[in-house]
Chain A
Amino acid sequence: MKRKLYDLAHARAGDKGNTTILSLIAYKAEDFPLLRARVTPDAVKRHFADIIKGEVARHELPHLGALQFIGQDALGGGVTISLCVDAHGKSLSSALLEMEIETD
């Protein structure tokens, strides 16, 4: 069965230079193992194809139920010179929550 991350977690986006920093936090601790298994750096990179042009790295914070994604080359050169409406990429948190994963 496919579920949207929106139903399982909340998220917030930040930026540093041309890098997006996306925090994904499970609503329920018991959903963290599923998120850890399915929301891999590769899966996130595929989901953000054409937006995140560089590498995606992931940090895990299990007792906070959180995954932290760092996406390089994601912000049109960085907030100060980007031509994008959302130069900071702040709405990328919402884009992440649109991602669908397989649940067992």
Chain B
Amino acid sequence: MTDTVRIGCGAGFQGDRLEPALVLAEHGKLDYLMLECLGERTVALAQLRKLHDPAHGYDSLLERRMAGLLPLIKQNGVRVVTNMGAANPLGGAQAILALARKLGLKVRVAALTGDDVLDALDPRQKVLETGEPLASIGPLFSANAYLGVEAMLPCLESGADVILTGRVADPSLALAPLTHHYGWRIDDEDRMARGTVVGHLLECAGQLTGGYYADPGKKDVPGMATLGFPFADVDADGNASLSKVAGTGGKISRATATEQLLYEVTDPTAYLTPDITADFSAVEINETASDAISVTGARGKPRPATLKVSIGYHAGYMGEGEISYAGENCVARAQLAGEIVAERLRGQFQELRIDILGLSSLHTRAMSGGDYRPYEVRLRVAGRSADRDMAARIGEEIEALWTNGPAGGGGARKETREQIGIVSCLIARETVRPQVTVFET
């Protein structure tokens, strides 16, 4: 291939493994390493932490990930691009500098803020999921606009070792370095689209390299415990070749890549990001070598006029309880236990969900087949309440089955947790003011 820039992905979600990023940083010969750590709820949860302690609100694993990575990225000349800033990129940058000082390293961090738009929301704006105005949702505690390449470019231009953002579109974590490296124009629609496909393939890390893919005997994946995370070699036109570090576990194939290409894409002809409307329908994936694929063919149309905003609101408490039954007639005993709990809680919950795990909890009873008789099942009861104590009653009623319920019940457990609801709306681009702050040791 002609001159290329190499971008790896060292994390595909908040709780991803730590060491594949270290393997990439040390052995991957990377130019850039992206770490994608913000799910739907993560920023909202981080915002709650910041309310309790203003110094926090960045990703809870930021220090652990960066402690291992900082020496390796300085040694190997790798720039990190990550959304681990979460609800507090400035605080996160300070934490990285403190780490760098402890390790005796000279580090520059560029923090991107401005995605927090809680104070700029218009209560008349429609909630995308319901069509109702925002005012119908109730007290909101977080609102973050998805920023993109345009906001991130100054971070790249600062020469920072670590680019630390809050909410950005996941593919932008790859597209921003590409745009910066090649000097692409943000209105170069086909290149924006191709770079977006690269970012989308990389953004879930192991899901490209055989993770979330294996089905023993049918879709075998070697070395899943040492899965190597992927990197992309991208040329000046945005065409890419994707692979992983030699000797790591996992596999990259047309099949693993097609699953990831289509993952969570609601319209393959119009994949919307802050940067572009990308058309995946003509994308071609070819296996070029063992564990290597080439990707071409994405096309772009103008980017959306607005930005999407992810909004967190308090959605009450979920109470949950479970208990297991085994052997002859276990299903009937589990069902009886469910009926007892439902009768005890009658009228207290708008919705009480009663599941038989092992039989019909994931999908309908019809799917497990009429004459299927499991050896063991687990009853689960769940419900939501605005009141924590009421939610907790569910688990309490399950536990009370120890001495008041059907025979042979075992392994009772209960849990009550706060629910964070997430909805989205749109916001005018002009309302959002991204800001870059550069820190140095």
Contacts and interface: CB of A to CB of B under 8 A. Distances in A.
Interface of A: 10, 12, 14-19, 21, 23, 25, 27, 49-51, 59, 61, 63-66, 68, 70, 78-81, 83-86, 91-92, 95, 98
Interface residues of B, number: 47
B165 to A, nearest CB: 21
Contacts of A86: 361-362
Contacts of A16: 264, 266
A66 B262 contact: yes
B266 A25 contact: no
A69 B405 CA distance: 43
B357 interface: yes
Interface in B205-264: 212, 215, 219, 255, 258-264
Contact of B212 (A12, A19, A65, A84): A12
Contacts of B424: 17
Interface of B: 40-41, 128-129, 212, 215, 219, 255, 258-269, 280-285, 315, 318, 351, 353, 355, 357, 361-364, 367, 380, 382-384, 419-424
A98 B283 CA distance: 28
Given A63-B284, A92-B363, A85 B40 contact: no
Nearest to B365: A50
A17 B361 CA distance: 20
Contacts of B265: 14, 21, 68
B233 to A, nearest CB: 22
Contact of A51 (B255, B258, B364, B420): B364
Nearest to A99: B367
Contact of A83 (B41, B259, B383): B383
B348 to A, nearest CB: 14
A3 to B, nearest CB: 15
A45 to B, nearest CB: 14
Contact of B315 (A27, A59, A80): A80
Contact of A61 (B281, B353, B420, B422): B281
A82 to B, nearest CB: 9
A78 B259 contact: no
A19 B215 CA distance: 25
27 contacts: A10-B215, A12-B212, A12-B262, A17-B424, A21-B263, A21-B264, A21-B265, A23-B263, A25-B255, A25-B258, A27-B255, A50-B364, A59-B268, A61-B280, A63-B284, A64-B262, A64-B283, A78-B422, A80-B420, A81-B315, A83-B383, A84-B353, A84-B361, A91-B363, A92-B363, A95-B362, A98-B367
B262 A85 contact: no
Nearest to B260: A12
Given A12-B263, A51-B363, 13 more contacts: A12-B259, A21-B266, A61-B281, A63-B284, A64-B261, A66-B258, A78-B129, A80-B41, A81-B421, A83-B384, A85-B355, A86-B362, A95-B363
